[in-house]
Structure 1
Amino acid sequence: MKWVLFNIIILICFQISSIRSQQQYTANQVLNCKTKDEFLYTCTGHHHHHHLSCQSFLIFKSKPPFDSVTTIAALMSSNPQELARINHVTETAVFPIDKDVVIPVNCSCSDRYNYQAITTFLLSPLGKTYFIVANLTFQGLSTCSSLMHANRYSEFDLEDGFELKVPLRCACPTKDQVLSGTKYLLTYSIVFKDNVPDIARRFNVSVESVLKANGFSETDPTLFPFTTILIPLTEEPSISRRVIRPETSTVPSAKRSKSKKPLKVGVPVVCSLLVFLGVLVIYMRKGKKVQDSEEMSHSRKDLLVEIASFERIIKAFSFRELQKATKNFDHKRRIKGSVYRGEFGNQIVAVKKTGIDVSMQVNMLSKINHINLTKLYGFCMNQDSLYLVFEYMKMGSLRDWLRSGKRSKETHGFCKRVQIAMDVAHGLHYLHNFAKPMYVHNNINSSNILLDSKMRAKISNFSHARTTDHVRVLTTRIVGSRGYMAPEYVGNGSVNSKVDVYSFGVVMLELISGKDAVFIEGGQEVLLSTTMATIMDDGGNAEKELRCMIDLADEEDGSMEYAVQMMKLSLTCVKQDPESRPSMDEVVSSLVRIHVDLQRTVDRCSERIILTKSDPFNEINVCDDDEEGCNV
């Protein structure tokens, strides 16, 4: 009986070791310097752990001063002759900037638990933190936490000239991988816009083998910059056999290169633009024939699917470029808080200084593309700070606009406010239904809604965004703005699309009433959503009291009916029970009907249903921004 039990235990242990035959992708956890985990690949090879070593490979992008065979080989403690051979260059070769260079290393299980290839690095003024050494110098091929474990220096005591021991992330094939023909594992460092299918094609391997080697359960998982994945190879990697990563254009830039390289990007971009214009022309022609909102909604959904596939290009700016653009972050260029106005030639941008760990936000913004979401042009990492470069929104936040003293029918008319609500609704509808993966913004408020020069609204600040794919997520870290947070989020940390619906309902109440989400009444702070809901529950005089709360100019009496409809829609969005709230799809449909009816009623708004040149994705523009006197 004992022997039977012993054999069962041995069998279970064998099965467990088989389950661990793949390395788990650690996502952006590797960017956390405080963790106790080193985030090196665990020893799961088919030889005995104490003596396990193998030939492995890394991918490094050449950047000065590490842009030659000699300097890269010294940085990685790699054999320069082998490095030159596998990259088909001479030992004196200098690589172009951002060239993919294959680095051969000897990978071993030296500490009995983790694989690593060891190199050393002398600290310089350009790299005085473990985070910078791991993620900028070694491009994620090492980790901040593994550097802290491997060296005796405190993160606050690093000085020029200190020699650091640098564990590089590598791995040896497992028994199952060897049996399936894998001879080598290559460590690939993720950059913006990378995805598993493209990486697999680049190295001429199957998507399934890459997914299995990294423990992915999804077919197209989210990848984070400065992290690595393993590529199983049946033969040595060769530049001649790999598909080189396509060069990308940079935006914005004050100077245009005179070289022919941009043509490689220009041709597909022009083709995409022609296709887009073709779709737009067809859509505009169809729009003239559309008579009701439902037909327009179907057309919009079809077009949104096309838009969701458009790719974004994110640029890595140098700190010197940002200093020049902002005049060294002059206080006169400060917009608000840590946001500065920058200029790249004729292009105006907003430069925001932020915390170091925003990889998820940057990764998200590189994948989404919608007219009602602020665009991220690029980023810059300098010392312990990270800078994000966004499109410039001339009119500032919705909150500031609502609070501004110059209130008039031209600037604060109901027509204009309904358009703003439509813009925000479209942005959220895109995030909830068309982004891949789908997102919850999780911090909608009037300060995070920005207005451009044409008073079109765009959602900003995605630092608290979460991927949910319509599944509830629980969090213990409650963050947000008072007056906007849904009760289930405050109560138990539940995050799903209905949290955004609640916050959007509060924003609509602000638009209609002109009041803040939290305002003073009778010497006490009052929540706008609670006040409005209480009025609605009063019964007989509810609608009369609601009308008193609506902020309309005297000339806008014809809009009152639609303002009440919008108020009632807002109140359904802020219901206590999330299941009783509408989806953003339903909200958009309701706003479309209000738009259509308002257009037919208000004499001073254009009687034509048009498509704005700057935003072909919104079905209806009640107000034509190009015509004077359109606003009520």
Structure 2
Amino acid sequence: MDPDQGLYLDALFNIAATNGLDTGRILCIFGFCRSTEMLIVVNGRDPPLLSPFSTPLQPPSLRPVSPTSPSVASAPQVMQILVIYEHHHLEKQLVLAIVLSSVAVALIFLSIFVVWIFWRRNQNDPEKKTAQGSDTSRGITLGPILSKFSSFNTAGRKPSLAMVEYSLLESATNNFSESNILGEGGFGFVYKACFDGGFLAAVKKLNGGRQDCEREFENEVNLLGKIQHPNIISLLGYCLHGEMRFLVYELMHNGSLETQLHGPSHGSALTWHIRMKIALDAARGLEYLHEHCNPPVIHRDLKSSNILLDSEFNAKISDFGLAVTGGNENKGNIKLSGTLGYVAPEYLLDGKLTEKSDVYAFGVVLLELLMGRKPVEKLAPSQCRTIVTWAMPQLTDRSKLPNIVDPAIKNTMDLKHLYQVAAVAVLCVQPEPSYRPLITDVLHSLIPLVPVELGGTLRVSDPSRSPKVEF
């Protein structure tokens, strides 16, 4: 071996050992470094000796090297081999770094995606939306109320309602004293309740143990937990105590329309314009149930005792224990329920229940407002007469109509407005449902009859205004 090659070989061993390279393979490569084949390996191509078309393998010949060439010819080749090994080592490290970086980025994006999914799910939670909507659209925010009820628990079937402790109801109603009774419903009494801080509410006590009572309670909680409208009563909470069920409502200081019309005052507090406002409010509540609820809600028990009045005579529909949902369908499988005098003929005779059944009941309420008479009057122990049967012949006769108006409001309204209301009432109580208007049409007919300050469009300073009946 040439002395210069020996020097390069020693240098190569040292470099290989320092960098962890295979010295045996370096020796093999070094043996061919002066040949043409080795130059091809150095340049990054497969050596001809591995190709099936290469010439037979020739043993390497160790020829003397010119004294002037070792440093010029051999050294660069050895360094080039080392660069090749270093290059492959760096490539492996680069690939490993890229793979690890890709996995890290994928995990970051996956985490962000999972967080986004949870956020969207919380945003689209219908029960949370109901709870948020109830605080804003009911007109009574639950926050201040619940802060007054220190014993209220927020755990309940509806996040917008509060579960009230029985002991709190006992204390607020003075142990359900008779002196606090506001009225009586089909399943129990309604009591006035005064909670800590002077907050007033109405508590309906449902006598438990009956299937109908339980169904009414569930109906009230399920529907009023979702429905919020200025002309529909607000349910604030409920209580379960043994077999008894309690519902807590906002207190309506002027009681029911029935009490105002047929109680001791006999309607003296209800002027013509206030009566028209009450009718308009009730129509707005019904329109919300029929047109804006999905599915539509049929109240099924609209009557003057279920129209409550606040301190300013704003009317709100209450008592949803018999309400059903489902739209314009034959509800033959539903048990016949309602109040005599308000039940539509098709429902009473054939069990056919639609939104038009509520329109019929609304027409009866409108007749009560006009005439101040009860929906059913007893003529004899076994004989009754409905307000519809009695009034219909006179409602269509303009000469007789002023004579059947409630004495408390007689001669206080424009006669053209009286004819308008009578015409609406006649249409609402038609025996054939298809002849009755939609509650939306009734609503638009009443708006021009109510003064602007009471929620309508009538300007009282313009007595000549006479709206037309349009359906």
TM more than 0.5: yes
Shift of 1:575: 0.3
Match of 1:201 in 2: 121
Q: Structure 2 residue aligned with 1:375, among 224, 231, 234?
A: 234
Partner of 1:544: helix, strand, or coil? coil
Q: Structure 2 residue aligned with 1:360, among 215, 219, 230?
A: 219
Q: Does 1:329 align with 2:176?
A: yes
In the alignment, is the contact (CA less than 8 A) between 2:256 and 2:307 conserved in 1? Answer: yes
Match of 2:260 in 1: 401
Shift of 1:200: 9.5
Match of 1:172 in 2: none
In the alignment, is the contact (CA less than 8 A) between 1:562 and 1:594 conserved in 2? Answer: yes
In the alignment, is the contact (CA less than 8 A) between 1:414 and 1:552 conserved in 2? Answer: no
CA offsets 1:136-176 (integer angstroms, 9 cap, x no match): xxxxxxxxxxxxxxxxxxxxxxxxxxxxxxxxxxxxxxxxx
Q: Structure 2 residue aligned with 1:450, among 300, 308, 316?
A: 308
CA offsets 1:492-529 (integer angstroms, 9 cap, x no match): 11111100000000000000011110124588521111
Shift of 1:313: 1.8
**Aligned letter for 1:534?**
P
Partner of 1:556: helix, strand, or coil? coil
Shift of 1:346: 2.5
Match of 1:426 in 2: 284
Q: Provide the aligned C-alpha RMSD in A.
A: 3.3
CA offsets 1:513-552 (integer angstroms, 9 cap, x no match): 1111012458852111122223357xxxx22222221125
Q: Which has the higher helix share?
A: 2
Q: Structure 2 residue aligned with 1:507, among 358, 365, 368?
A: 365
Partner of 2:442: helix, strand, or coil? helix
Partner of 2:311: helix, strand, or coil? coil
Match of 1:341 in 2: 192
Match of 2:414 in 1: 559
**Aligned letter for 1:423?**
D
**Aligned letter for 1:201?**
R
Q: Structure 2 residue aligned with 1:585, among 440, 450, 454?
A: 440
- In structure 1, how many angstroms separate the alpha carbons of the residues matched to 2:179 and 2:460? 35
In the alignment, is the contact (CA less than 8 A) between 2:448 and 2:457 conserved in 1? Answer: no
Q: Structure 2 residue aligned with 1:545, among 389, 400, 403?
A: 400
Q: Percent identity?
A: 31
Shift of 1:622: 7.0
Match of 1:41 in 2: none
Partner of 2:293: helix, strand, or coil? coil
- In structure 2, how many angstroms separate the alpha carbons of the residues matched to 1:408 and 1:470? 35
Match of 2:160 in 1: 313
CA offsets 1:403-432 (integer angstroms, 9 cap, x no match): 2343576x1321111111111111101111
CA offsets 1:324-348 (integer angstroms, 9 cap, x no match): 2212222222222311111222221
Aligned 1:453-492 pairs, distance under 5 A: 453-492=311-350
Partner of 1:416: helix, strand, or coil? helix
Normalised TM-score (structure 2): 0.60
CA offsets 1:201-254 (integer angstroms, 9 cap, x no match): 25x9x99xxxxxxxxxxxx99xxxxxxxxxxxxxxxxxxxxxxxxxx9666336
Instruction: Label 1:328 to 1:254 Cα distance change in 2 as closer, same or farther (>3 A).
Output: farther
Match of 2:22 in 1: none
CA offsets 1:556-586 (integer angstroms, 9 cap, x no match): 3542321221011101000011011000100
Q: Does 1:253 align with 2:100?
A: no
Partner of 1:412: helix, strand, or coil? coil
**Aligned letter for 2:231?**
N
Match of 1:496 in 2: 354
In the alignment, is the contact (CA less than 8 A) between 1:374 and 1:390 conserved in 2? Answer: yes
Q: Structure 2 residue aligned with 1:531, among 360, 385, 390?
A: 390
- In structure 2, how many angstroms separate the alpha carbons of the residues matched to 1:324 and 1:353? 14
Q: Structure 2 residue aligned with 1:350, among 202, 206, 229?
A: 202
For structure 1, the residue ranges without an aligned partner over 5 or more in a row are 1-196, 208-219, 222-247, 263-310, 600-608, 613-617, 625-632
**Aligned letter for 1:352?**
K
Match of 1:285 in 2: none
Aligned 1:204-353 pairs, distance under 5 A: 252-253=145-146, 255=148, 313-337=160-184, 338-344=189-195, 345-353=197-205
Instruction: Label 1:407 to 1:339 Cα distance change in 2 as closer, same or farther (>3 A).
Output: closer
Partner of 1:393: helix, strand, or coil? coil
- In structure 1, how many angstroms separate the alpha carbons of the residues matched to 2:301 and 2:460? 28
In the alignment, is the contact (CA less than 8 A) between 1:419 and 1:622 conserved in 2? Answer: no
- In structure 1, how many angstroms separate the alpha carbons of the residues matched to 2:308 and 2:321? 15
- In structure 2, how many angstroms separate the alpha carbons of the residues matched to 1:251 and 1:495? 40
- In structure 2, how many angstroms separate the alpha carbons of the residues matched to 1:408 and 1:332? 23
Aligned 1:165-204 pairs, distance under 5 A: 201=121
Structure 1 window deviating more from structure 2 (544-553 vs 411-420): it is 544-553
Shift of 1:481: 0.8
In the alignment, is the contact (CA less than 8 A) between 2:283 and 2:439 conserved in 1? Answer: yes
Instruction: Label 1:557 to 1:360 Cα distance change in 2 as closer, same or farther (>3 A).
Output: closer
Partner of 1:474: helix, strand, or coil? coil
CA offsets 1:353-405 (integer angstroms, 9 cap, x no match): 11333223211101111111111001010101110001111111111111234
Partner of 1:313: helix, strand, or coil? coil
Partner of 1:352: helix, strand, or coil? strand
Normalised TM-score (structure 1): 0.45
**Aligned letter for 1:420?**
I
**Aligned letter for 2:242?**
Q
In the alignment, is the contact (CA less than 8 A) between 2:181 and 2:191 conserved in 1? Answer: yes
**Aligned letter for 1:580?**
Y
**Aligned letter for 2:205?**
K
- In structure 2, how many angstroms separate the alpha carbons of the residues matched to 1:451 and 1:589? 22
In the alignment, is the contact (CA less than 8 A) between 1:485 and 1:499 conserved in 2? Answer: yes
In the alignment, is the contact (CA less than 8 A) between 1:251 and 1:377 conserved in 2? Answer: no
- In structure 1, how many angstroms separate the alpha carbons of the residues matched to 2:118 and 2:409? 59
Q: Does 1:441 align with 2:296?
A: no
Aligned residues: 313
In the alignment, is the contact (CA less than 8 A) between 1:442 and 1:464 conserved in 2? Answer: yes
- In structure 2, how many angstroms separate the alpha carbons of the residues matched to 1:314 and 1:621? 38
- In structure 1, how many angstroms separate the alpha carbons of the residues matched to 2:401 and 2:410? 19
- In structure 1, how many angstroms separate the alpha carbons of the residues matched to 2:147 and 2:431? 51
Instruction: Label 1:431 to 1:199 Cα distance change in 2 as closer, same or farther (>3 A).
Output: farther
Instruction: Label 1:342 to 1:620 Cα distance change in 2 as closer, same or farther (>3 A).
Output: farther
In the alignment, is the contact (CA less than 8 A) between 2:448 and 2:456 conserved in 1? Answer: no
**Aligned letter for 1:341?**
K
- In structure 1, how many angstroms separate the alpha carbons of the residues matched to 2:359 and 2:331? 16
Aligned 1:70-219 pairs, distance under 5 A: 201=121
Higher-Rg member (1/2):
2
Partner of 1:509: helix, strand, or coil? helix
- In structure 1, how many angstroms separate the alpha carbons of the residues matched to 2:257 and 2:456? 22
For structure 2, the residue ranges without an aligned partner over 5 or more in a row are 1-116, 128-140, 207-212, 462-471
- In structure 1, how many angstroms separate the alpha carbons of the residues matched to 2:166 and 2:118? 30
- In structure 2, how many angstroms separate the alpha carbons of the residues matched to 1:386 and 1:327? 18
CA offsets 1:241-299 (integer angstroms, 9 cap, x no match): xxxxxxx9666336478xxxx9xxxxxxxxxxxxxxxxxxxxxxxxxxxxxxxxxxxxx
Match of 2:78 in 1: none
Partner of 1:484: helix, strand, or coil? coil
